[in-house]
Amino acid sequence: MHFETVTSVTHYSDYLFSFITTRSRDFRPFKAGQFTMIGMGDDDLVRAYSIVSPPQADHLEFLSIKVADGALTSRLQSIQPGDEIEVVNRPAGTLVLDNLTPGKRLWCLATGTGLAPFLSLVRDPLTFQRFEEVVVTHTVRTSAELAYADLLTELPVHYYPTVTREAHAHTGRITEHIDKGGLFAALGLSGWNPEQDRVMLCGSQAFNRDLKERLEAAGFSHGSNRAPGEYVQERAYVMASPMPS
């Protein structure tokens, strides 16, 4: 059993929080976009959490929802600096650059805590060595849930947040902005092109399904750890966050 010590906790709303832990020297190297399993260490219950921090960081960072009756989150949301949590030392996942064929523009589309793996990717220099442009979209219910918005506006990425339950510069689900062309217009593009664009998806099952249908209709092939493609989604990582509505 592998333990790390909590060093800080940030609460964004009554629904969302993030936390940072130590990163022991024996914690295995990981690729940006991978996840690991987390638990409280006093039972066998663990859940998948994408690693928010980049591979070169000397700490580990995670993003989580709060669920009052959640088997793990009901307890995890109360952690404080100095507490110890179990972090399984086996990073894994398919949301990694190696699973995409070479392209010009990387799209990272997320809902809720699905933003987590992309925060690691956009802070990894390898991402910008592979792609000329990086686009990050994040769909949430309220503006308070736009975690890491300040960071994303400072990084060399195109950041496109959408909010579903409040008035916002970009109100509604990201699928609406894709279908109506607003997302592409903001970047001066006519749409997705499988010759240049590469796409990563991380959100609810409904979100992943809806975007998968649009991408495959546009001619994109799915990538995996066995063979790279034009788009990838994390099949092993089941999002606890529902599709914003």
pLDDT digits (tens, 9 = 90+) for 146-180: 999 999 999 999 999 999 999 999 999 999 999 99
- Supply 174's token pair: 């990201």
* Separation between Cα atoms, residue 225 and residue 245, nearest integer Å: 32
Across 192-219, average pLDDT: 95
Fold exhibited by the domain 3-87: Elongation Factor Tu (Ef-tu); domain 3 (2.40.30)
How many whole angstroms separate alpha carbon 133 and alpha carbon 183?
Answer: 15
Contact 125, 134 (CB under 8 A): no
Asked if the model's pLDDT at residue 236 lies above 70, the reply is no
Closest to 71 measured CA to CA, from 110, 108, 30, 39: 39
Report the pLDDT value the prediction gives residue 194, as an integer from 0 to 100: 97
Q: Tell me which CATH code domain 97-233 carries.
A: 3.40.50.80
How high is the mean pLDDT of the chain? Answer: 94
Euclidean distance between CA atoms 2 and 87, whole angstroms: 6
Amino acid identity for residue 72 in this structure = L
- For residue 242, pLDDT over 70 is answered with no
Residues near 213 by Cβ (< 8 Å), separated by ≥ 6? Answer: none
SS3 call for 37:
strand
pLDDT at position 204 is 87
3-state secondary structure of 26: coil
pLDDT for position 1: 77
Instruction: Please report, for the chain, the start and end positions of each structural domain, with discontinuous segments joined by +.
Output: 3-87, 97-233
Percent of the chain with pLDDT over 70: 96
**What pLDDT is stored for residue 245 in this prediction?**
45
- Cα–Cα distance, 131 to 102 (Å, whole number): 8
- Equal CATH topology for 3-87 and 97-233: no
